[in-house]
Every structure is written in structure tokens, then in C-alpha cells.
């Protein structure tokens, strides 16, 4: 039996040579991984330096979060977690006994994702109103403070204002880039007379770090590997040349790395392939988030589909005739990859078969099922290798014997083969600076509620 779900077809017996040629291009050697670790560090320095920041691919955005929670925060706070095709609204109660949350999830339909700013924020406000009807009986609260987790690259000007730089992960709402998203949200809430005040905005990685620190004070990195990939960590102000705030104690600030943009300046071309160029050309943000497009859940399914389509055109899959269902861009979900890698083996591929049938291949041959399984394993393997290099690079930068990492996201949570391969590889790449991963369920939502509580505590301290 294979030692790991991703090690199937080690000798690749019986796979077409055209597939093996593509697989070879997807390999990332240990030497390349170490290069990535080193280059990531250089890219991070460029993002922090005022002279190079504008053209830097890794933006290193200061969050205005200067201290992490100390567990004494109390009260009831709301949070809005917006960053994928679903958003969450949370009501968090912080007491001596810890954190209790009520969470509802809402879907963002395609027409809202590509509609106008008014439609988008109006839709969110409607759902916050609905949430309050269900969870906050009339008269319970005068005005609820809300922490807004907004998981897109944004320039912050204070703890509660941030201008969107660019949409990622397939979002294309018009009229938001360059605008303060806190203002847009607050106006939409005020228009409907909803008694909620947005007191802080943070990235999901910053929120994960805050939530992780609330439970464990050895937590130094917040990491998201889901629809997108990114991380945040605490940096000394003396290293943040772009910092525009005060230099009072504590002389530190949490940095949202915006790691998904790594490579947008050409530094990872040595691992990009024809498949990646093809994928990029099908996205709404061409030329941006290049490493994210090789790793995260928004894209992996499409990477696999592109390979399958290419092999069909070469005549070595489906007898040269692509099943109807596979013709559509983005139809092949990353969750299919996870089901296939998790359930199929070298001898039997029931999941590949079922998924191909659902996509219009009536009777896929055993060879086609094996091929799809092998593609999914290879695409996952590469994603895990690249993610490990990015996290390994961060561990080297922090240089702590043990770094606590608070992590969330569907790729980490719901894709065990990916998670295991990535964490194994991190341990190999960074033997001296170890990582301890803690999954913070709903960390992005909880973190901004805790931050709202920190803001309230600071306001009280300043009175
Ligand atoms: C966004 C980041 C976010 C990450 C994970 C990326 O596409 O640019 O801001 O943290 O996805 O959600």
C-alpha cells in the first residue's frame, strides 16, 4: 500500500507519456523550495520598504493592530466575516468562562459578486438585519460594536478605515476598488437603521492570529489556506518603513503579508508552467495572485480540469472526446480533488468514476479514472510543496524555536492529504524553527469580534 495518499503511481506504470511529461513540469524540487523560502523573505522586505513598496508584489500591509488580546476582554460583539463566496455573521459573548459564539452563514450569489457596490453592501446589510432578528431580540442592545473581517488586500488608514486595493478570489463588485469599505458598509447599515457600529476592520489572517492568541499566547502567525492563501504576523515597527502611525509603545504592528501576490513581479517563474499561464488567462484578475493560483482552493480544481482537457486534446483521455460537462471553465471543484485523493487508490477509483459520470462521461474507462486520480494527486502534491515553502519561509524569518500558527481555511481543514503533506514538508524544510498548528474554527469571525472587544477596552482605558 502507498505510504501516503499522494504517493500513488510512484512508478507511474500505465499512465500515458503525455501525462508524465506534464507531471514532470509540476514537480517542485527541494532546492526550488529553499529558493522560494529565501526569495519570499526578500519580497517581504521590499513590501516593508517605502522606496520599493509600490512595485512590491508582497504588499506587507500594516493592520493597525498593535497588541494581541490578553484574555480579559468582556462583553457582546458582532462580527462580519467576508472573504469567500459565503459570508458569516457572528454574535460573540466574551465572559470569564471564555468565548461563546452564534454564527450564521449566508451565500453570496453570482449576480451580487459582479454587481454594484450598493447591491453588494445592501445585500450584506439585509442579512445582518436578518441575523439580528434571529439572535438579538428587540431592545437587548443599544448599538452593537462590529468587527469587520474583510479578506482582500486593502490599505488601512486606521483601525476602522481601509481602502480596497484590488479584488481577489473571483470577486468583481463594481465601484469598490479605491474606496473605504468600512464607510460603504456603515452607510448601508445606517440606511436601514440597523443599530450596529463598525469599530474595526481586519484581514482574515490578522483575525486568525488574534483568535489564536486569545486561546494561546505562543501564537505568532495567523494563516489562511482556503479559497485564497495568506498569513499575518507581528513585526517590529523599526522594520516597517511604510508605517504611518505613531511610534509609541508597543513598538510593533501586525502585518497582513498578502502572500498570495508572491510572484506577481516574476520571481517565481521558475516554477510556473504552461498550465499556470492557461489558468491565469481564465481569471478576472490576470497577472495577480500568481502563487495563490497554484495553491488555493479557488483554483486547484480548474488546474486539474485544464490538464484533463489538454490530455483529451492530445488524444490520450476519453478517446479524444471531452465529456460535455468538462467543457465548462471552473466546473471542476477543488472539493472533487479532495474526494478523489481521499477515496481512490491505485487499484480502485470509485470517486473519479462517480465524479466523471456526474460531468457527463457515461462510462469512463478504468484508464481515464486512473488518469484523473493521478492528476488530482499531482496537483495537490505541488500545492502542498509550495504552501510548505511559504510557511517555511515565514518560520525562517521569525527564527523562533517553536512558532504557534493559528490556521483556518477549507484546504487545511477539509483536505487531509494536503494538510498532512504540507505539515510534513514544513518540518523537513525548517527543522530548527518548528511550527505548532492549531485549527481556529471560525477564527476569522471570532478574531474580529475579539478585536472589537479590545477596542472597547482601549476606549475605556482612555476615558
Ligand atoms: C486575499 C487575502 C486573504 C486570503 C485568504 C487572498 O486572496 O488577498 O487578503 O487573506 O485570500 O482569504
Ligand 1 atom closest to the CA of 444, numbered from 1: 12
CA of 256 to the centre of ligand 1 (A): 9
Which residue minimizes the CA distance to atom 1 of ligand 1?
A: 152
Give the chain's length: 463
Question: Does ligand 1 come within 6 angstroms of the Cβ of 382?
Answer: no
* φ, ψ (nearest 5 deg) of residue 208: -65, -40
Three-point CA angle 402, 256, 32, nearest 5°: 65
What is the pLDDT at residue 456?
78
Q: Are 144 and 76 in contact (CB under 8 A)?
A: yes
What is the pLDDT at residue 463?
52
Which residue minimizes the CA distance to atom 8 of ligand 1?
A: 152
- Dmax over CA atoms of the chain, in Å, equals 74
Question: Does ligand 1 come within 6 angstroms of the Cβ of 258?
Answer: yes
Phi-psi region of 289 (alpha: psi -120 to 50; beta: other; left: phi over 0): left
User: For 422-443, what is each residue's pLDDT tens digit?
Assistant: 999 999 999 999 999 999 999 9
Ligand 1 atom closest to the CA of 224, numbered from 1: 5
Cis check: omega of the bond before 250, within 30 degrees of 0:
yes
Cell of 429: 524544510
CA of 316 to the centre of ligand 1 (A): 37
To test ligand 1's pocket by mutation, which of 59, 87, 88, 203 has the most ligand atoms within 8 angstroms of CB? 203
Q: Bigger pLDDT: 217 or 15?
A: 15
Of all residues in the chain, the percent with pLDDT exceeding 90 is 87
Q: Are 85 and 113 in contact (CB under 8 A)?
A: yes
DSSP string covering 346-410, please?
A: SS--HHHHHHHHHTT-SS--HHHHHHHHHHHHHHHHHHHHHHHHHHHHHHHHH--SEEEEEEESH
User: For 155-206, what is each residue's pLDDT tens digit?
Assistant: 999 999 999 999 999 899 999 999 999 999 999 999 999 999 999 999 999 9
List residues with catalytic annotation.
Answer: 169, 204
Band the pLDDT of 1: cuts 50, 70, 90: very low
Helix (H) / strand (E) containing 199 = strand 196-202
Q: Bigger pLDDT: 367 or 460?
A: 367
Picking from 308, 213, 294, the residue whose alpha carbon sits closest to that of residue 22 is 308
What is the pLDDT at residue 357?
96
User: For 381-404, what is each residue's pLDDT tens digit?
Assistant: 999 999 999 999 999 999 999 999
Amino acid at each position: 500500500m502507498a505510504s501516503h495518499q499522494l504517493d500513488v503511481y510512484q512508478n507511474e506504470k500505465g499512465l500515458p507519456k503525455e501525462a508524465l511529461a506534464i507531471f514532470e513540469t509540476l514537480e517542485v524540487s527541494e532546492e526550488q523550495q529553499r529558493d522560494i523560502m529565501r526569495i519570499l523573505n526578500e519580497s517581504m522586505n521590499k513590501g516593508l520598504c517605502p522606496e520599493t513598496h509600490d512595485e512590491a508584489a508582497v504588499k506587507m500591509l500594516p493592520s493597525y493592530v498593535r497588541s494581541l488580546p490578553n484574555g480579559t476582554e468582556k462583553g457582546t460583539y458582532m462580527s462580519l466575516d467576508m472573504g469567500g463566496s459565503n459570508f458569516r455573521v457572528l454574535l460573540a459573548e466574551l465572559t470569564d468562562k471564555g468565548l461563546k459564539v452564534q454564527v450564521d452563514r449566508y451565500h453570496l450569489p453570482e449576480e451580487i459578486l459582479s454587481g454594484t457596490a450598493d447591491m453588494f453592501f445592501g445585500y450584506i446589510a439585509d442579512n445582518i438585519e436578518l441575523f439580528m432578528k434571529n439572535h438579538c431580540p428587540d431592545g437587548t442592545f443599544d448599538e452593537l460594536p462590529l468587527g469587520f473581517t474583510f479578506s482582500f488586500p486593502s490599505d488601512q488608514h486606521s483601525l476602522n478605515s481601509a481602502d480596497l486595493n484590488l479584488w481577489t478570489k473571483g470577486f468583481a463588485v463594481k465601484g469598490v476598488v479605491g474606496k473605504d469599505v468600512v464607510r460603504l458598509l456603515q452607510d448601508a447599515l445606517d440606511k436601514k437603521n440597523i443599530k450596529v457600529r463598525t469599530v474595526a476592520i481586519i484581514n482574515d489572517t490578522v483575525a486568525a492570529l488574534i483568535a489564536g492568541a486569545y486561546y494561546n499566547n505562543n501564537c505568532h502567525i495567523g494563516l489562511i489556506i482556503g479559497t485564497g492563501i495568506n498569513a499575518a504576523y507581528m513585526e517590529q515597527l523599526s522594520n516597517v518603513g511604510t508605517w504611518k502611525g505613531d511610534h509609541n509603545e508597543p513598538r510593533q504592528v501586525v502585518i497582513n503579508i498578502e502572500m498570495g501576490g508572491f510572484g506577481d513581479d516574476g520571481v517565481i517563474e521558475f516554477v510556473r508552467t504552461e498550465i499556470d499561464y492557461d489558468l491565469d488567462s481564465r481569471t478576472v484578475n490576470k497577472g495577480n495572485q500568481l502563487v495563490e493560483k497554484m495553491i488555493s482552493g479557488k483554483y486547484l480544481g480548474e488546474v486539474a480540469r485544464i490538464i484533463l482537457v489538454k490530455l483529451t486534446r492530445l488524444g490520450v483521455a476519453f478517446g479524444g472526446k471531452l465529456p460535455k460537462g468538462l467543457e465548462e471553465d471552473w466546473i471542476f471543484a477543488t472539493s472533487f480533488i479532495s474526494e478523489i485523493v481521499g477515496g481512490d487508490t491505485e487499484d480502485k477509483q470509485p470517486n473519479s468514476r462517480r465524479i466523471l459520470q456526474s460531468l457527463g462521461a457515461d462510462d469512463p474507462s478504468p484508464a481515464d479514472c486512473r488518469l484523473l486520480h493521478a492528476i488530482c494527486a499531482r496537483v495537490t502534491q505541488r500545492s502542498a510543496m509550495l504552501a510548505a515553502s511559504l510557511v517555511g519561509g515565514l518560520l525562517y524569518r521569525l527564527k523562533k524555536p517553536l512558532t504557534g500558527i493559528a490556521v483556518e481555511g477549507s484546504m487545511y481543514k477539509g483536505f487531509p492529504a494536503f494538510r498532512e503533506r504540507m505539515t510534513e514538508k514544513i518540518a523537513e524544510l525548517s527543522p530548527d524553527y518548528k511550527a505548532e498548528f492549531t485549527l481556529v474554527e471560525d477564527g476569522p469571525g471570532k478574531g474580529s469580534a475579539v478585536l472589537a472587544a479590545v477596542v472597547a477596552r482601549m476606549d475605556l482605558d482612555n476615558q
